[in-house]
Structure 1
Amino acid sequence: MRILSTSCAVAAVIALTTVAEAKELRFAIGYPPNSAPVKVMEEYAAKVSELTGGDLTVKVFPSSLLSFPETSPGVRDGIADMGLLATGYHPTEYPINNLVPNTTIQMINFGDDVKGREAMAFASALTEYTFFHCPGCNDEFKAQNQVFTSIASTSAYYLMCNKPIGSADALAGLRMRAPSNWARWTAYVGGNPVSITLGEMNEGMSQGVLDCLVASAAELVNWNLTSLVTDIAVGVPGGVAAGAPVNINRDTWQALSAEERSALMKAGAYSQAQYAWAFQQAEAQALDAAKAAGAKVADADASIVDKTKEFVVKDTAAMLEEVASKYNIKDGSAMLDTFTPILEKWVGLAKDIDSVETYEEFLWTEIFSKVDVNTHGF
């Protein structure tokens, strides 16, 4: 009988341990426990276990394992196997992935066609685009030792302040928490954009560092902000935060069986539907809670809407010039030309979404079922 050398035996033990650990995937999410996004990802974990008969499980770590800025390098380095990334925190690593989400503010142009379904339309289009039409997006993920599996998207972004915002003139000088494209909007309407993370919003409002939040209304509940706002302008600036891919460590992905990778695709369609649906439902609940706390909630004044539309027209060209200069992305216009008909398709589909189950079926049929798990991520 052949005797294994000590080094071979140790290697065998390490290999077996790695396989065993891979069966329970560590999922990092920067949201706090009991928030709607965490609950959705816990449902995702349950779905993975259901689809694999318990052979593959996911353990969700809310805010404790990795913060939002830490998630991308943490998944890259294997601190977490999976995570909800916010690519906007990493402009140098993800300039291609950030380009299309940076135009989300243009969703205001679709008006009532997608009102209440903004996340479903835009995130679905971005998912389809990323899987099948953006090799540069997946190359960026590969460079970070990650594989794209789905997207999480908020509901529409609104202006939520602790000061009256009855007209465009009232925005002058206000300090607004505003990421990426919304920072450009803030500057355009005369405000002062402040770059802070979601987790810092409560402290920023409480300590007077911020006058306003540019964020999804659902965040009022997710981050316990309801009592800190007095005026909410519904409808502006618009757009959704869809630059939040759910990624998996590339080594972990490749170590899974084809059946397990297929289960993650199926669970991805499920969680993406649940996430967008949860944010859309939470928006109405959050606005009701803000009203109950005494906040004024009203459609944005026409002067702010007009200023926003003016910004939308001018911003795309400026943004494309910026990414060409800063990140050497010369084909940004072509990328948007590719994305636009996909978005138009999903705007049409979103009109028929009357339940989270309908949305999940659309996602599975139109996108996730078409991903070849034997080539994707390899």
Structure 2
Amino acid sequence: MKKAIKASALGAFALSVLLGAAAPSAAVELRFAVGSPPNSLGDKAANHFKDKLEEYSNGETTVKVYPLSLLNLLESNNGIRDGIADIATVLWPYFLSEYPETNLIAEAASMSELLEGDRQQATLAYLGAMIEYVAMHCPECQAEAKAQNQVFLAGLGTSSYVLQCMKPVSSYEDLQGLRVRAGGAWWSRWLTGMGASPVSLSINETFEGLNQGILDCTASNPGDMTQFGFIDVISDVTVGVPGSSFAFAIADINLDTWTSLSEEQRGHVLHAAAAISGDGIMAYFHDGRENVEEKAPARGIAIHQADDDLLARSREWIAADLDALAASYEERFGIENAKGKLENLRKLVDEWMPRMEGIDDRDALAQVLWENVYSKLDVKTYGM
């Protein structure tokens, strides 16, 4: 009799385990901290992530977006690490000592300027390669995120930078001695190499710097013209230089949150990660193109093309800087085989060029990223 009762109890336990395994995962709400204000590009991208994640999970996994209220961009890295938010944007160049391996790849965005063909296609090819490299081919990048109690989810990057100025600039001679806001180390080096004087100002101080005559120009992506109001003060825009893209993580997730999700939920999150990258990247391109081709001319702002001599000097400088970049990171951060890593990245960029041909909307870009990166990640082990 006791044996029968024991067998019955074991059978009931086994059934409960099977039913538990088959049962749907518990509903989850994730907190997404956006370091930019409501209705900004970052806020819109986060809300697109929210919508797609809820769609993919049939409402099981939801997201609450906090634009510039839970964490700002300087607080985001520690905020994710400490669990203040589940997901947030991490601007890698703001945290150079924490992410040297990842920043090596981000700072190599200028290689897109050396590719022949369509500029948008070339920049998109770099961004696709960057996302693939960090997610799939860089255990050191993964280790850097893990050390911050994070998992890399979604990469983002801007369209090529342009000069937004208070005077006409189109030649190497025009640049000599100009005070230009540099948004990162690469642009500071480029400006120095072209004879200008880089000025370090936050993006939020740049409008006043231009308006008060502290700056002659800002080297910024063309989307920032309206995002930060530069269109209200500048008189001239120069396209073709300095180029390069500001690459970063639009979404990293807290490692504890990630491990608490079921494998199915992680799959949904990765699918939504492809969507947020597609949305944010294309927003930069579309906003920038509209600003340069329509909004700026409508304000009477003159649009200049960098002349052939300046373009040639710039390309020559970019090639030399890329050669020096690997040695610099090896010396400063002890990175091993940095040159080989950049060569591997360049091979990926070449692979991504045909994939990005004709890509000009967020859904198409998200699909390419899903097919070539996110769908290939193993939800059982990724980020662990």
C-alpha separation between the residues in 1 aligned to 2:195 and 2:226?
A: 28
Structure 1 segment 215-294 matched on structure 2, within 5 A: 215-287=220-292, 288-294=294-300
SS at match of 2:32: strand
C-alpha separation between the residues in 2 aligned to 1:205 and 1:183?
A: 17
Cα deviation digits, residues 174-221 of structure 1 (max 9, x gap): 222221211110111112222333333223323333221111101111
Q: What displacement does 1:275 show?
A: 1.4
Q: Does structure 2 conserve the Cα–Cα contact (< 8 Å) formed by 1:22 and 1:252?
A: no
Answer yes or no: is 1:79 the counterpart of 2:84. yes
Q: Does structure 1 conserve the Cα–Cα contact (< 8 Å) formed by 2:27 and 2:60?
A: no
C-alpha separation between the residues in 2 aligned to 1:92 and 1:208?
A: 33
Q: Does structure 1 conserve the Cα–Cα contact (< 8 Å) formed by 2:153 and 2:249?
A: no
Structure 2 CA distance for partners of 1:203 and 1:354, relative to 1, 3 Å? closer
2:160 aligns to what? Answer: 156
C-alpha separation between the residues in 2 aligned to 1:22 and 1:157?
A: 42
TM-score w.r.t. the length of structure 2 is: 0.88
Structure 2 residue corresponding to 1:341, chosen from 321, 341, 347? 347
C-alpha separation between the residues in 1 aligned to 2:123 and 2:34?
A: 19
TM-score w.r.t. the length of structure 1 is: 0.90
Answer yes or no: is 1:33 the counterpart of 2:68. no
Structure 2 CA distance for partners of 1:202 and 1:24, relative to 1, 3 Å? farther
2:144 aligns to what? Answer: 140
Cα deviation digits, residues 23-66 of structure 1 (max 9, x gap): 22221222222123321221111111122222221122222322
2:383 aligns to what? Answer: 377
C-alpha separation between the residues in 2 aligned to 1:63 and 1:174?
A: 33
1:101 aligns to what? Answer: 106
Q: What displacement does 1:173 show?
A: 2.0
Answer yes or no: is 1:326 the counterpart of 2:298. no
Answer yes or no: is 1:359 the counterpart of 2:365. yes
C-alpha separation between the residues in 1 aligned to 2:330 and 2:141?
A: 16
| Unaligned segments of structure 2, at least 5 residues | 1-25
Q: Does structure 2 conserve the Cα–Cα contact (< 8 Å) formed by 1:30 and 1:68?
A: yes
Answer yes or no: is 1:211 the counterpart of 2:219. no
Cα deviation digits, residues 258-299 of structure 1 (max 9, x gap): 111111111011111111111111112111212222211121
Answer yes or no: is 1:115 the counterpart of 2:119. yes
Q: Give the residue type in structure 2 aligned to 1:136.
A: E
SS at match of 2:220: strand
Q: How many equivalent pairs are there?
A: 358
Structure 2 CA distance for partners of 1:275 and 1:250, relative to 1, 3 Å? same
Structure 2 CA distance for partners of 1:192 and 1:66, relative to 1, 3 Å? farther
C-alpha separation between the residues in 2 aligned to 1:309 and 1:369?
A: 36
Q: Does structure 2 conserve the Cα–Cα contact (< 8 Å) formed by 1:27 and 1:82?
A: yes
- State which structure, 1 or 2, has the greater radius of gyration over its C-alpha atoms: 2
Cα deviation digits, residues 106-163 of structure 1 (max 9, x gap): 211114x232234421211111111111100011001111100111111111111112
| Unaligned segments of structure 1, at least 5 residues | 1-20
2:17 aligns to what? Answer: none
Q: What displacement does 1:362 show?
A: 1.4
Q: What displacement does 1:22 show?
A: 8.9
C-alpha separation between the residues in 2 aligned to 1:119 and 1:152?
A: 11
Percentage of matched positions with identical amino acids: 34
Structure 1 segment 14-53 matched on structure 2, within 5 A: 23-53=28-58
